Chains A and B, each alone.
Chain A
Amino acid sequence: MKNKADIVIIGAGMSGCSIAYNLAARGAKNIVVLEKSFICSGSTGACGAGFRMQWGTEMNCRMSKFSTEFFEHANEILEYDGDIELRQSGYLMIADTEKELTQFRKNIEVQHACGIPSRMVSLEEAREIVPHLNTSILSGAAYCQKDGFLNPHKTTDAFYKAAKRLGVEFYTFTEVTGIKVEKGRIVGVETNRGDIETRIVVNAANAWSQGIARMVGVELPLYSERHQILVTEPVEHMQDPMVMAFNLNLYVQQSPHGSFIMGRSDSSEPRDLRRTSSWHFLEEMAKTIDKVLPPIGQLRVVRQWAGLYNMSPDRQPIYDKVEGVEGFYVAVGFSGHGFMFGPVTGTVMAEMILGLEPSIDASRLRLSRFAEGKLFTEPSVV
């Protein structure tokens, strides 16, 4: 293992790999990525694989559009020898209350101002898009054809391989045990496999980022929460878009392989980094799917799993350089959408670290917004 690096990134999920690639692509050298398990072993590897531009804040609309446009060409840009399996088969957002429908209308105005091709759809049209949808319990829907899914493992692998080709070194099964600070600036990182001298550390550990920040005496305003997903046996293709509902609390997509992948949130989930499966989730998920998309209830669940959301107070990430600890950067608090924002994360952080002109203004996502009381809560999060 190297004992000296210009930049050390902690975490090799989507964020860490994208930051590494974007730094190297802009000419940065001597970059090391430390991962305590294997590549994509954390939140990215357990995510629901969707990406969407149907957000309720202008910031998220702009960032997701940037990411989507990247994903559309990611195989070529990253010169990937595999396929990230991008499919723009849409997101159908369904509402069962007037309140939620009003929120959709407001969101669409924000989306249109950003050039996102979303629209309200009638229940009849929603049924044309997803024939097995139980529209009798719904009040309306919104749709964007350009939303969709891509394979999180392959996408992260594409960034990882591209970064590696540009000279980035990845050390897996290497856990950061401490960060050395002298006179208010980072001077090195300690791991279970030896120490690395460095003046720049990027905390991209998402669910585990609070622990990393505490190593330099910084308390991040975040908590990590378990979220669960289940997958069914594969069946013939029957559903194009992701179906998502905030009030009914579900998201469900049919993977290219044919299995249905679905999840929902639960505010009573543990916040202790546990990633076990619960019976309660299985029951609640089964009841929800049986009600909203009854034919899918006839499929067999073959596995459930869990991953961690790294929740921030306004459910938006933090991209910043931390005041008081020179050389310490954070790309954390993704609140469940770190995978789909990966291209933006890498771009914003690389430009910030290298002092380049930002190609997307993410200054509102600074860490100090919480202390300043300048939160801007994203209304549309599962």
Chain B
Amino acid sequence: MDENTIICRCSDVSLKEIRELIAQGYVTYDEIKRLTRIGMGPCQGKTCGQLVLREIANATGRSMSELQFHNIRPPVVGVKLHLIAEEAERNEE
């Protein structure tokens, strides 16, 4: 695969950057996330997550099921803060 392929579309991270970090010894999803911003954008890793885990699995010889993805945190999709505030105030009334 072309190493310039974009793995993380939210933050424009290429396959090359991921592979370089893995080669330097950053072999957990969370470490790569913290250094490149993968999984921090609007998709929250729904696009890049499996791709990055597969790269780690290939490089380390571990199976993907052994590897840890980042914590799943709310919300599932982006929600406007104003709507949450409005709803919270309505519930208080």
Do A and B come together as binding partners? Answer: yes
Q: Which of A229-250 contact B (CB under 8 A)?
A: 231-234
Contact string, A30-61, partner B, CB cutoff 8 A, digits 1/0? 00000000111100010000000000000000
B residues less than 8 Å from A285 (CB atoms):
81
| Residues in B34-77 with C-beta less than 8 Å from chain A | 34-35, 37, 40-42, 44, 71, 73-75
A286-B85, A303-B73 known; A231 vs B40 contact (CB < 8 Å): yes
Complex CA gap A157/B32 in Å reads: 11
B93 at interface, CB cutoff 8 A: no
- Write out the residue numbers on chain A whose beta carbons fall within 8 Å of the beta carbon of B84: 282-283, 286, 301
By size class, the interface of chain A is 35 or more
Residue pair A234, B41 in contact (C-beta under 8 Å):
yes
How many B residues have CB within 8 A of the partner chain?
26
Residues in B neighbouring A40, C-beta threshold 8 A: 31, 34
Binding site for B on A (CB under 8 A): 38-41, 45, 82, 153-154, 157, 231-234, 257, 259, 277, 279, 282-287, 289-290, 294, 296-305
Name 13 A/B residue pairs within 8 A (Cβ), A-sorted: A38-B30, A257-B37, A277-B73, A277-B74, A285-B81, A286-B81, A287-B89, A297-B80, A297-B81, A300-B79, A302-B41, A303-B44, A304-B74
Binding site for A on B (CB under 8 A): 11, 28, 30-31, 34-35, 37, 40-42, 44, 71, 73-75, 78-82, 84-89
* Nearest 10 Cβ contacts at the A-B interface: A300-B78, A297-B82, A153-B34, A283-B88, A286-B84, A286-B85, A290-B85, A286-B81, A287-B85, A297-B81
